[in-house]
Amino acid sequence: MTTTPLDRLRAATRAWHDALESTAFATAMLSGTLPLDRYVGQLAAYREALAALEGELSRATSPCVTHVWSPDLAKLPFIERDLKYFRQSGVNPPPQARPAGRAFAEEIRRTAAADPDALLGFLYVMEGSTLGALLLHRYVSEAYRLTVPYGLAYYGSGDRTRWASFTTRMNEALMNDAWLNDALLNEDTHARVLAAADRAYHHTASIAEALAPPTRATARTPSSPPA
Ligand code: HEM
């Protein structure tokens, strides 16, 4: 059986996925102990990245990107709906995730200027993460007693049919010599998409780290002397 570009992306980034599933942020989310503002903080940081990514993908003209990107992949409206709901509920994102969100957005814009095809690596990770969010959705709604869709639009936005059509288009785009004019470019483009996926995981790990739940030690204000 031929190994598709998506099979290779999945295999090459699996270690990252395993690491993200075991962050203090993810563990607290799965155990229902993640403070609500940390969840909102993740949404706010992802909003920065998705605004940059979806803006750049919509403007890109490269055959690879235009073959894969379509407006039904847009997630920004979902995240903005959630952030509006929490704003109106008086829950604000903590400031500490903002730098990591901005760094992710800046890297996306730099990549769009230098190598638009590589944006597909960022898209793979962000689109894929909504698959896992379908599983996490239940934990989030129980932990914060949220009623669908209030505060859950982004975590509920994963869609297997859309994922299947996305992966088909990604494989077509990354295997199509006609657009890439020769086989060698194919390998090179794949390597650049993989490098971008690696960077996307790096940035989402930085966001999770910045939003790690306070431990007993950090829960105490650092300024107070030990008891
Ligand atoms: C507790 C945290 C997480 C859990 C439990 C989780 C779980 C999952 C699950 C169940 C899938 C679907 C596998 C399948 O049926 O095909 C998945 C796919 C994926 N997740 Fe996660 N996930 C988590 C966090 C993340 C994060 C933070 C990211 C990146 C931002 C991420 C990126 C992805 C990607 C890219 C895929 C698609 C992999 C592929 O099939 O190629 N996940 N995840």
At 77, which CATH number? 1.20.910.10
Backbone angles phi and psi of 213, in degrees to 5: -60, 145
For ligand 1, atom 10, the nearest C-alpha belongs to 132
Domain of residue 194, residue span: 5-210
- Write down the H helix ranges in the chain: 5-21, 24-30, 36-59, 63-68, 76-88, 98-114, 119-143, 160-175, 177-180, 183-210, 216-219
Asked if 213 and 38 touch (Cβ cutoff 8 Å), the reply is: yes
Q: 225 in a domain, yes or no? A: no
Q: How far is the CA of 149 from the centre of ligand 1 (A)?
A: 21
| Residue 119, in any domain of the structure | yes
Q: Whose CA is nearest to atom 43 of ligand 1?
A: 132
Reported as a single tens digit per residue, the pLDDT across 41-85 is: 999 999 999 999 999 999 999 989 999 999 999 999 999 999 999
Query: Average pLDDT in the 204-215 region?
Result: 94
Report the domain count for the chain: 1
Mean pLDDT over the full length of the chain: 90
* CA 85 to ligand 1 centroid distance, Å: 25
Residue 174: pLDDT band (50, 70, 90) is confident
CA of 215 to the centre of ligand 1 (A): 26
Which residue is closest in CA terms to ligand 1's atom 2?
21
Residue 219 lies in a domain: no
Distances (CA, A) of 90 to 29, 87, 162: 21, 5, 33
Q: Whole-model pTM?
A: 0.90
220 inside domain:
no
Describe the crossing of helices 76-88 and 36-59 by its angle, rounded to 10 degrees. 150
